[in-house]
Amino acid sequence: MFSKTRSLLVVGFLVCAVTLIGVAPLAQAGSPKEIKIGVLFPLSGGLASTGALIRQGAELAADIVNDKWPNLDIPMAKWEGIPSLGGAKIKLIVMDHRSDPARGADLAKRLIEDEKVVGIMGCYNSSVTKSVSTVCERYGVPMINSNSTSPLLTRRGYNWFWRTTPDNITFTVDLFKFLEGLVEGKVRGVGKIPREELDDLAIAGEETEYGTTGAELLKEMAPEYGCRVVKYILYAHESPDLTSESQAMQAANPDCVLFIPYVSDVILYMRTFRSLRFSPHIIWGQDAGTVQPDFARVLGKDANGVITRTVFIPEVAIKVKPIAAQINNVYKERTGEDLSGTSARAFTGIQAWAYVLDKAGSTEPKAIQKACNEIYISPDDIIMLWGGINFGSTTPDEKGQNVLGMGMIGQWQWKDGKNVLEAVYPFDYATADMIYPFPEWE
């Protein structure tokens, strides 16, 4: 009896052991070894340098998620892959849309059908983001956008599109608050500026989704803040000559010139302004071209005094957020440059993807969709000076917008033989006295 009972116990033990031994491999087999994310940005043509910045920011974020970085005080640096997916690594499938919406749509289909990506990040150009997100919506594939700012993108009722960056409405309001601050004497190093020195605006936007929506916003909001639009220009992307447009603005005698440009166009505008000796009181750019390191590098001293909206200024982030300083140092070791608004937004976009995947615990589209709609990423976990990341709406017609984002305004200042982007807004974050007015050409 004892022998029989013992035998049954032994058999039962062996069955349980075999079962338990088999469970772990099966559970591990249920988690992917890698998670493919399609990344679409302009990597050739006039925006190649911009695309390179985006790629560098995105790849750094993926590397930090995938490997252990004990010296970085950010949770994902300890993950070594996505924790809830058994340490699966993020693999970025990078493609060049060449700033072409039709090509972007074709590449999105290829990424979904052939590469079997779980989702897409892109596309910088708002016009390309528009076409790619339409493909994702049709296929039911998640898309997280990090760098496009046309307000219309989150006002289409799409269920598979989310955006981490603030849009042009936020940045345009920031501009007018900044101008009001100049009048009220809130800008560091500048006394109260007479209102009549800032009233007349010239607006120049390129004929793309990004440029036209940005220009229209400026025109619509100007009267609310007591400003007049004395010249309104839409110009072709990558124009070979902008002399007539520049002359038209000069003839209108504006106090402020407001650009919604990509980098090659705004460099050409600035060179043309110099040749015409045209110096308005303020030259402001809606990010994009004016925030790129190439803008300051190519123009040298001629960029001195230009202000630009942005979301990341190293001088501020390093002082306010230790993790931003740490990530910036790693990025600088790799590239030789500080993070810019462009590369920092791309970094944050991939970081959002990583947190969403971890929350979802699955690569199934519906699980990712649910995680996007519920995610909250703490401000302590990101390099931006935002309140965190939480997708929702700020208006009844909006959907999938990070409602915790914040804009900044920086000014290029020539110091010790190089341009430095100093913060001038928000006023509490100012890192230097503002140069006002824009200097006369030497």
User: At 11, phi and psi to the nearest 5?
Assistant: -60, -45
Q: Is the pLDDT of residue 9 over 80?
A: no
pLDDT score for 30? 57
Residues 6+ apart with CB under 8 A from 32: 85, 88, 363
CATH number of 169-310+407-429: 3.40.50.2300
Lowest mean pLDDT among 58-67, 171-180, 236-245, 356-365: 236-245
Count CB-CB contacts under 10 A for residue 70. 7
pLDDT score for 109? 98
C-beta separation of 149 from 174 below 8 A: no
CATH number of 34-166+318-402: 3.40.50.2300
d(CA 279, CA 273): 7
- Comparing CA positions, the residue from 351, 350, 296, 292 lying closest to residue 51 is 292
- Comparing CA positions, the residue from 246, 238, 344 lying closest to residue 293 is 344
Lowest mean pLDDT among 1-10, 69-78, 198-207: 1-10
Segment 410-418 shows an average pLDDT of 95
Average pLDDT, the chain: 92
**Strands (DSSP E) found in 45-199:** 89-96, 119-122, 143-145, 161-163
Residue 334 vs residues 56, 57, 60, 94, 121: alpha-carbon distances, Å: 9, 10, 9, 19, 22
Residues 6+ apart with CB under 8 A from 318: 324, 325, 328
The predicted-structure confidence for 164-193, as pLDDT tens digits, reads as follows 999 999 999 999 999 999 999 999 999 999
- Comparing CA positions, the residue from 345, 351, 325 lying closest to residue 405 is 345
d(CA 139, CA 268): 40
d(CA 129, CA 379): 26
The pTM of this model reads 0.88
**SS3 call for 229:** strand
Which of the four pLDDT bands, split at 50, 70 and 90, describes residue 287?
A: confident
The predicted-structure confidence for 35-80, as pLDDT tens digits, reads as follows 999 999 999 998 999 999 999 999 999 999 999 999 999 999 999 9
- Comparing CA positions, the residue from 361, 266, 203, 233 lying closest to residue 50 is 266
d(CA 232, CA 245): 10
- Comparing CA positions, the residue from 343, 312, 271 lying closest to residue 410 is 312
How remote is the C-alpha of 237 from its chain's centroid?
21
pLDDT score for 24? 33
Where in the chain do CATH 3.40.50.2300 domains reside? 34-166+318-402, 169-310+407-429
Q: Is the pLDDT of residue 375 over 90?
A: yes
